[in-house]
């Protein structure tokens, strides 16, 4: 069943147009990676889906309902949760308090504190420590856990690996298939094509605000991706 669909989606910052006619569709249960260079429009696409960027009058259908133009909290209640780029924890609160904030107004579903601790065992020993005591990777785990605590139907992750060391990224990316295994659909925004290919059922490549390529990782060649990502070849 189709979980999310956009038709001819556009976005502007004043006179500047950041998205041009984006047609996007994903099924329930899928993990989709959105790839593209700096400034391709990936974050703007996520922000438009979650109501952080205006979408009034456009066509965005989520779980059978039109969501364009709704306020962010109504979209969140409909089952769409975002892990923001840069993590943004409440640094004076403990890990567990941060996670519980995500549970406010939660839908029913598989995600509980225990399920988040099973997903990220590193957090168990830190559960009563403040956000200030965490490494960058652990902060990212809390940010993902906090978004999951609302039991979203669709989790949106903006550049999970941004600013993290490769070793730490290796601790976080394996969580994606576990999240999917509990029935939560996922969109990951990722600049690292290899990482995206490894984790996604399907890929959308953006360039300069347009979708330039879509397909399964197996069906796409390096040449196609280079062309769609950088516009060369
Ligand atoms: P990155 O990987 O750098 O986050 P991105 O693919 O997510 O890139 P966006 O952040 O969506 O790209 O930016 C798309 C375009 O919109 C860029 O040209 C960017 O400069 C512009 N843009 C983004 N945010 C704003 C803003 N608040 N005001 C004006 N222009 C913006």
For residue 38 and ligand 1, the question of a CB distance below 6 A is answered with yes
Distances (CA, A) of 231 to 32, 34, 84, 100, 210: 21, 16, 28, 44, 12
Q: What number is the ipTM of this complex?
A: 0.95
For residue 15 and ligand 1, the question of a CB distance below 6 A is answered with no
Which of 14, 39, 187, 189 has most ligand 1 atoms within 8 Å of its beta carbon, as the pocket-test mutant? 39
Which residues touch 64 (CB under 8 Å, ≥6 apart)?
none
For residue 86 and ligand 1, the question of a CB distance below 6 A is answered with no
For residue 43 and ligand 1, the question of a CB distance below 6 A is answered with yes
- 19 CA: nearest ligand 1 atom: 14
Does residue 169 carry a pLDDT above 90? no
Contacts 24+ apart (CB under 8 A), 76-80: 76/50, 76/105, 76/150, 76/152, 77/105, 77/107, 79/107, 79/151, 79/152, 79/153, 79/154, 80/49, 80/50, 80/152, 80/153, 80/154, 80/156
Mean pLDDT over the full length of the chain = 92
190-207 pLDDT tens trace? 988 998 999 999 999 999
**% of residues, the chain, pLDDT over 70:** 98
1-20 pLDDT tens trace? 999 999 999 999 999 999 99
> 81: closest CA among 9, 150, 13?
150
Task: Supply the pTM of this predicted model.
Answer: 0.93
Does residue 233 carry a pLDDT above 60? no
> What's the topology of domain 2-88+152-230?
Rossmann fold (3.40.50)
For residue 18 and ligand 1, the question of a CB distance below 6 A is answered with yes
Q: Which amino acid residue places its CA nearest to atom 9 of ligand 1?
A: 41
Query: Among the listed ranges 41-55, 96-110, 161-175, which one has the minimum average pLDDT value?
Result: 161-175
CA distance 215 to 195: 15
Tell me, in angstroms, the distance from the centre of ligand 1 to residue 159's CA: 13
Contacts 24+ apart (CB under 8 A), 179-182: 179/119, 179/144, 179/148, 179/155, 180/29, 180/31, 182/110, 182/111, 182/115
Does residue 87 carry a pLDDT above 70? no
Average pLDDT over residues 48-62: 96
Which of 11, 12, 36, 44 has most ligand 1 atoms within 8 Å of its beta carbon, as the pocket-test mutant? 44
For residue 41 and ligand 1, the question of a CB distance below 6 A is answered with yes
Domain ranges for the chain: 2-88+152-230
Confidence label for 86 from pLDDT (cuts 50, 70 and 90):
low
Residue-level pLDDT at 159: 87
């Amino acid at each position: 069943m189709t979980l999310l669909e956009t038709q001819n989606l556009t976005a502007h910052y004043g006179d500047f147009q950041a998205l041009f006619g984006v047609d996007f569709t994903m099924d329930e249960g899928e993990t989709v990676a959105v790839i593209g260079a700096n400034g391709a429009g990936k974050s703007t696409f996520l922000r438009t889906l979650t109501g952080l960027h205006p979408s009034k009058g456009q066509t965005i259908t989520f779980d059978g309902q039109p969501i364009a133009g709704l306020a962010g909290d109504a979209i969140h209640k409909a089952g769409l949760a975002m892990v923001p780029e840069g993590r943004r924890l409440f640094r004076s609160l403990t890990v567990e308090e941060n996670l519980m904030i995500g549970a406010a107004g939660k839908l029913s579903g598989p995600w509980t504190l225990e399920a988040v601790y099973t997903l990220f065992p590193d957090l168990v020993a830190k559960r009563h420590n403040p956000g200030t005591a965490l490494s960058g990777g652990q902060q990212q785990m809390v940010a993902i856990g906090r978004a999951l605590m609302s039991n979203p139907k669709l989790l949106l992750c903006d550049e999970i690996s941004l600013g993290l060391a490769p070793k730490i990224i290796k601790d976080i990316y394996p969580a994606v298939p576990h999240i999917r295994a509990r029935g939560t659909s996922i969109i990951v925004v990722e600049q690292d094509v290899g990482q995206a290919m490894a984790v996604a059922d399907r890929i959308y490549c953006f360039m300069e605000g347009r979708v330039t390529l879509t397909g399964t990782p197996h069906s796409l060649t390096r040449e196609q991706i280079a062309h769609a990502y950088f516009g060369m070849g």
